[in-house]
Amino acid sequence: MLIDTYGRVATDLRVSLTDRCNLRCTYCMPEEGLQWLAKPDLLTDDEIVRLIRIAVTELGITEVRFTGGEPLLRPGLVGIVERCAALEPRPRMSITTNGIGLKRTAAALKSAGLDRVNVSLDTLRPEVFKTLTRRDRHKDVIEGMEAARAAGLTPVKVNAVLMPGLNDDEAPDLLAWAVEHDYELRFIEQMPLDAQHGWKRDGMITAGDILASLRTRFTLTPEGDDERGSAPAERWVVDGGPHRVGVIASVTRPFCAACDRTRLTADGQVRTCLFAREESDLRAALRSGAPDEEIARLWRLAMWGKKAGSGLDDPAFLQPDRPMSAIGG
The pLDDT assigned to 80 comes to 98
157 known ligand binder: yes
96 known ligand binder: yes
Percent of the chain whose predicted confidence (pLDDT) is above 70: 92
Q: Which helix (H) or strand (E) element contains residue 109?
A: helix 102-112
Mean pLDDT of 216-229: 84
For the stretch 260-319, pLDDT in tens is 999 999 999 999 998 888 899 999 999 999 999 999 999 999 999 999 987 777 777 776
Strands 92-97 and 63-67: parallel
Of 97-101, 164-168, 223-227, 237-241, the one with minimum mean pLDDT is 223-227
The pLDDT assigned to 197 comes to 57
For residue 326, pLDDT beyond 80: no
The pLDDT assigned to 198 comes to 59
Of 42-46, 153-157, 231-235, 287-291, the one with minimum mean pLDDT is 231-235
The pLDDT assigned to 24 comes to 85
The pLDDT assigned to 139 comes to 97
- Residue 175 and residue 157: Cα distance in Å, rounded? 12
263 known ligand binder: yes
21 known ligand binder: yes
Of 60-74, 139-153, 240-254, the one with minimum mean pLDDT is 240-254
For the stretch 56-86, pLDDT in tens is 999 999 999 999 899 999 999 999 999 999 9
62 known ligand binder: no
The pLDDT assigned to 253 comes to 85
183 known ligand binder: no
- Rounded (to 5) percent helix, strand, coil in the chain: 35, 15, 50
Percent of the chain whose predicted confidence (pLDDT) is above 90: 74
Strands 269-271 and 261-264: antiparallel
Integer distance in angstroms from the first to the last C-alpha of the chain? 23
Alpha helix (H) ranges present in 134-197? 138-151, 171-181
The pLDDT assigned to 132 comes to 92
217 known ligand binder: no
- Residue 79 and residue 84: Cα distance in Å, rounded? 9
**What's this model's pTM, rounded to 2 decimal places?**
0.92
Residue 317, number of CB atoms within 10 A of its CB: 13
The pLDDT assigned to 57 comes to 98
For residue 324, pLDDT beyond 90: no
The pLDDT assigned to 203 comes to 73
- Residue 227 and residue 127: Cα distance in Å, rounded? 37
54 Cβ contact list (under 8 Å, min separation 6): 292, 295, 296, 299
305 known ligand binder: no
- Residue 233 and residue 253: Cα distance in Å, rounded? 10
84 known ligand binder: no
Highest mean pLDDT among 182-196, 209-223, 242-256, 309-323: 209-223
Of 13-22, 23-32, 155-164, 217-226, the one with minimum mean pLDDT is 23-32
- Residue 238 and residue 220: Cα distance in Å, rounded? 5
The pLDDT assigned to 193 comes to 58
Q: Which residue did the predictor score with more confidence, 225 or 109?
A: 109
C-alpha dist (Å) from residue 250 to 70, 207, 313: 21, 9, 11
65 known ligand binder: yes
Tell me the residue type at 37.
L
The pLDDT assigned to 64 comes to 98
Mean pLDDT of 199-220: 89
C-alpha dist (Å) from residue 233 to 36, 190, 214, 250, 271: 30, 14, 16, 9, 21
